[in-house]
Amino acid sequence: MNSVQKNFESSSKFLSLVLRHKPEEIGLALDSEGWALIDELIKLANATGQNFDRQTIEMIVSTSDKQRFALSQDGQRIRANQGHSVNVSLGLKPVIPPDTLYHGTASRFLSSIHLDGLHSAQRQHVHLSSNAEVAELVGARHGVPVVLIIDAKAMSGHGHLFYLSQNGVWLTETVPANYIRDPLE
């Protein structure tokens, strides 16, 4: 990775931090749907020593591998597409999920997950994927990856709500253990 890519990655991580988890770290205000004013974000970020400008932000939004961020239509605001721990409402409408979804986790969490189901930990939702390969990469962030198979059709039939984020991540509040199948079982 060259130095430009490194700077980009660190700027993208900084954006995730302030737009998903800790806006107060730089004194940033998010509205109820998670939007921040870009001019304000730049001013506050620069005041805390981050070298940030509009061009960098626009590059990150357009090149982010997972399309983590979105700009408002008027181009004045930015928000994270999903992954928040702060309490925002993304305004997503419930949608019927595919019959099967996948959750990538680490093998060391399995016994606890089979006991308690999937919980969203610090975030607002449990994150699921329609693609097992993507789920495996998510799991590998935490350790030896395991891809769990989720019976989304049954969950949806039993009244659990699912949302699809703008960048294609499936979100739901919790997944009770009886809807989870471990492929190794």
Contacting positions for ligand HQG (CB under 6 A): 66, 68, 83, 105-106, 109, 112-113, 116, 118-119, 121-123, 127, 138, 141-142, 169
Ramachandran class of 19: left when φ > 0, alpha when ψ lies in -120 to 50, beta otherwise: alpha
Measure the CA–CA gap between 157 and 52, rounded to whole angstroms: 46
Provide the minimum distance between the beta carbon of 46 and ligand HQG in the complex, in angstroms, as a whole number: 24
CB-based closest residue to ligand HQG? 105
Closest CB to ligand HQG among residues 43, 109? 109
Provide the minimum distance between the beta carbon of 17 and ligand HQG in the complex, in angstroms, as a whole number: 10
With tokens 């595919």, the residue in question is 98
Closest CB to ligand HQG among residues 2, 111? 111
Closest CB to ligand HQG among residues 39, 116? 116
Residue 148 makes CB contacts below 8 A (sequence gap 6+) with 102, 103, 104, 105, 113, 118, 135, 180, 181, 182, 183
Closest CB to ligand HQG among residues 77, 84? 84
Closest CB to ligand HQG among residues 43, 137? 137
Provide the minimum distance between the beta carbon of 47 and ligand HQG in the complex, in angstroms, as a whole number: 25
The answer to whether the beta carbons of residues 102 and 147 sit under 8 Å apart is: yes
Provide the minimum distance between the beta carbon of 2 and ligand HQG in the complex, in angstroms, as a whole number: 21
**In the chain, which residue ranges form alpha helices assigned H by DSSP?**
3-16, 38-47, 54-63, 110-116, 132-140, 152-157
With tokens 């975030």, the residue in question is 123
